[in-house]
Amino acid sequence: MALLRRHTKLQSSIALDYVTCAKPSTKNFEERDTVAYLLMTAAPGKPLMDVEQMLAPEQITAIGLELRQYLTDMHKIPNPFKYGLCSPTGGSLDAPLYTGDHFDLPTFEDIGSFHAWLRDRMGRHWPVMQPRVQSIFTKFEVAQPVFSHGDLSPDNIMICDGRLSGLIDWETAGWMPPYWDYVCARWDHSEVFSSVIRLAVPEHNDRERYNMRVSAGVCRGGDPKKFLSFEEAVEDW
């Protein structure tokens, strides 16, 4: 990403071209949908998911600490736009955890405005959800947004010779609350990545992460009564 090259010394893939084309609509063959492809340079190494079984414990620890420094440097990238929460181009942001594939997350003036939007999205379920997330909202209400990847996962972290070589798949990146990368991280089937991300985000809070992910499910139309409590969910981990 240009932002990383401009403001940090971090390694990342580089966008070369953005191509759009038409294809038959899945709803009506006579109509056409537009699909887009982003052509990027390759990052050295292989995704963590492809090498995690070959990593020694000390390598896993080293990768977690390297990712911590990577995120620390990345979070310092300044936001030149008028919106506090936005994409790298200053517009709406791809946040599938909260919106699915239906629409992009709109821009927000600050984190408090984002939390107000979440309350509105939860609608009639807010009285049930408030005990889960109000303390998180209060904790970060006046915090400064940080530049975030938005989709940390075993297939987006590149490893070369047992070391972190960079991150890929930046389509969900943008300035978001400090908790964003930990909340959005996908680790359901990777104990190695779970260890890496906990080392990378030492201030992590699993209760906050779980309850914010529940709020995401409710924003997408889920019933909060069907979600386990944090204590029940931990037993299934």
Spell out the domains of the chain, with CATH numbers in brackets: 44-110+145-204 (3.90.1200.10)
What pLDDT is stored for residue 13 in this prediction? 59
- Give the global pTM: 0.85
- What are 36-69's pLDDT values in tens digits? 565 556 677 999 999 999 999 999 999 999 999 9
DSSP E strands in the chain: the ranges are: 15-24, 32-40, 46-47, 146-148, 157-160, 163-167, 174-176
What pLDDT is stored for residue 27 in this prediction? 58
Report the percent of the chain where pLDDT is more than 70: 83
Side-chain-side CA neighbours of 4 within 13 Å: the count stands at 21
Question: Mean pLDDT, to the nearest integer, of 140-168?
Answer: 95
Question: Mean pLDDT, to the nearest integer, of 90-96?
Answer: 95
Query: Does 237 or 157 have the greater pLDDT score?
Result: 157
What pLDDT is stored for residue 1 in this prediction? 59
Task: Please determine, for residue 75, whether its predicted confidence score (pLDDT) is greater than 70.
Answer: yes
Q: Is 221 exposed, middle or buried (0-12, 13-18, 19+ CB in 10 A)?
A: exposed
- What are 162-199's pLDDT values in tens digits? 999 999 888 999 999 999 999 999 977 789 999 999 99
Query: Does 123 or 39 have the greater pLDDT score?
Result: 123
Reported confidence tier of residue 128, pLDDT bands at 50, 70, 90: very high
